[in-house]
Structure 1
Amino acid sequence: MKSISDDLKEVDKIIREQLNSEVALVRAIGDYIINSGGKRIRPSMVLVIALSLGYKGNKHHLLAAIIEFIHTATLLHDDVVDESELRRGLSSANSIFGNAASVLVGDYLYSKSFEMMVSTDSLRIMDILSKTTTVIAEGEVLQLMNIRDPDASFESYMQVVRFKTAKLFEASAHVGAIIANADLEQENSAIAYGRHIGTSFQLIDDILDYFGDVDTLGKNIGDDLREGKLTLPLIRAMAVCSEKQRNILRDAVLIGDANLVDIIDIVKDTDALQYTSKLAECEAKEAQKSILNYPCSSYKEILMELPLMFLNRIF
């Protein structure tokens, strides 16, 4: 996104300033995570939404940095819960520094994000972002409750997606609109945009967990299955496959050590991939429709292109 490259540099500058802790381990883990190749997708959404609505100040940089801190904190906690060894193609922070340090630095980043929120001088923004962190935590717990449950429903899966992933996309877009003094219609458009694009993003992520490539994804293929997470490709496959195949998939979720190649073959034997892709495409189109009322600009063009980029992503 060349048009916001200078803005992203300002965001990175704030991130580095805020990570300048007197505690060496905080700096070390923070630097490791921040410099490990993240795409700054959610911070970019703050910037582009605000700029598309004519924002001229610089508080969007601070808000974008806050969003990145919240996101990074969730990654640190996620990797501990999931016992992940890879993140963005590198060793996860917990595999290098240990689980305790990763959890505590994640807590630090959450605390730092709230400290930074105060300087926005906006109770609305603080309200939105504080509620967002609560919803994300609820999503994590919901996902944990569904672990190794082969009977988890489409509805429960979508609730986890809305809470755990889409909510931060939604909040990123929403605060971008607020900082630009958007009217109510534009705010609601931003909320819908973030929710739909975040949902589409997660659906594609779940497809890539089975059909991606470890070198380009930066994480191990099949991690969700090994962790006992029932995502949409598997939910759909179990709904339409043969009874014999269904029993294999159920055992894979319950036990977690199934042959991934066998599971992928079963998923491919059904319409699960196409089904999940189609839903992701529908969500992407809804995201685009949400902002048709925004003024024409190069930033609006970026917002229209982002959902399509996510549909075709390999990271």
Structure 2
Amino acid sequence: MNMTNSASTPLDRLAVQIAPELEQVSTLIRQRMASRHAPRIPEVTAHLVEAGGKRLRPMLTLSAARMLGYQGDDHVKLAATVEFIHTATLLHDDVVDESRQRRGRPTANLLWDNKSSVLVGDYLFARSFQLMTETGSLRVLDILANASATIAEGEVLQLTAAQDLRTDEDIYLQVVRGKTAALFSAATEVGGVIAGAPEDQVRALFDYGDALGIAFQIVDDLLDYGGVTATIGKNTGDDFRERKLTLPVIKAIAAGDATERAFWTRTIEAGDQRDGDLEQALAIMARHGAMQAARADALDWVGRAKAALATLPANPIRDLLDELADFVVARVA
């Protein structure tokens, strides 16, 4: 997801603060995605890793560790681990969703094939576990292994929940905690653990990552429908076409009448979509203020993220992480 090219975003300023470590993470990723026997592995991985993503998740790990005074280099290994887990899930997601584009470029499954994407994703998961064991911390291993299982669980839950009109906000939150927030919270939590921070600070970092991840995904779901203003662009409505029940739609269904429910049953549950359906979906969501309500939820999660952060020691990186939380939702102002 493009989080804007402006040099003045909190994300860019954070990258400047931890630039040497970010470079070390990039070097480590290049080293560990090499394969002597299967050159397709670095080919496929490089296509995704070098695609211009902002490296948000590894930045969270580096920032958490640095903010709490960590002096070693294990946080670099953990940041690379987090990026490998993220990249592996993207490779698998694109196969599951039959996606053809990611970040404006053809997906790996389109350029190569589904088999390559799945197997290279498996390789990256294996590499991530090698890296996390190198820190020698069983607790770190437990956190990241648990996050990996939670991500897979969230994706499987989404398979059954995404096209079922009985899916409510609680189930949506469970899916989001799985597929998105689990890696955010693990990324921040392991930063605190490796820094040897007290338990209350480690918990605050977990809470920050969890709330930030949930807000991030709600905003992504809003942007898929053109944001609060519902501006139709080239990729607007991909979730609608893929029949994914995301928060704005769930809110519209809960507030709707029988006629509207029949529309959602046809388009989402039955997959019978026709010309003009996306526009009608947007009109129904607008009628019930679903986009604004979803944005209000995202803002609430941002508030929780900032409250957790406020319990941590004052630090310039803490201030940037605070701004980052606001920035996530500012994209759908």
Q: 2:45 aligns with which of 27, 30, 38?
A: 30
Between the two proteins, what is the percent identity of the paired residues? 42
Shift of 1:221: 2.4
**Could you list the runs of 4 or more consecutive aligned residues of structure 1 that deviate by over 4 angstroms after TM superposition?**
none
AA aligned to 2:24 is E
Instruction: Tell whether the 8 Å contact from 1:86 to 1:220 is kept in structure 2 after alignment.
Output: no
SS at match of 2:18: helix
Instruction: Tell whether the 8 Å contact from 1:86 to 1:219 is kept in structure 2 after alignment.
Output: no
Pair 1:298-2:313 in alignment: no
2: distance between equivalents of 1:198 and 1:155?
Answer: 16
Q: Which has the higher helix share?
A: 1
1: distance between equivalents of 2:318 and 2:279?
Answer: 42
Q: 2:284 aligns with which of 248, 266, 277?
A: 266
Q: 1:193 aligns with which of 208, 230, 255?
A: 208
Instruction: Tell whether the 8 Å contact from 1:177 to 1:187 is kept in structure 2 after alignment.
Output: yes
2: distance between equivalents of 1:247 and 1:110?
Answer: 42
Map 1:93-112 onto structure 2 (within 5 A).
Answer: 93-112=108-127
Shift of 1:32: 0.5
Counterpart in the other structure of 1:84: 99
Counterpart in the other structure of 1:21: 35
Note the alpha carbon deviations across 1:29-57, whole angstroms, 9 max, x for none.
Answer: 01101011111111010011111111111
Map 1:159-198 onto structure 2 (within 5 A).
Answer: 159-198=174-213
Shift of 1:5: 2.0
Alignment size in residue pairs: 310
Q: 1:207 aligns with which of 211, 222, 230?
A: 222
Counterpart in the other structure of 1:281: 299
Counterpart in the other structure of 1:8: 22
Instruction: Tell whether the 8 Å contact from 1:147 to 1:227 is kept in structure 2 after alignment.
Output: no
AA aligned to 2:222 is I
Counterpart in the other structure of 2:6: none
Shift of 1:219: 8.5
2: distance between equivalents of 1:297 and 1:242?
Answer: 51
AA aligned to 1:178 is V
1: distance between equivalents of 2:223 and 2:299?
Answer: 15
Note the alpha carbon deviations across 1:13-32, whole angstroms, 9 max, x for none.
Answer: 11111111111100100110
AA aligned to 1:284 is V
2: distance between equivalents of 1:261 and 1:222?
Answer: 9
2: distance between equivalents of 1:12 and 1:299?
Answer: 21
Where structure 2 has 5 or more consecutive residues not aligned to the other structure, the ranges are 1-13, 228-232
Counterpart in the other structure of 2:10: none
SS at match of 1:291: helix
> Which segment drifts farther, 219-228 or 73-82?
219-228
Shift of 1:67: 0.1
2: distance between equivalents of 1:202 and 1:119?
Answer: 31
SS at match of 1:310: helix
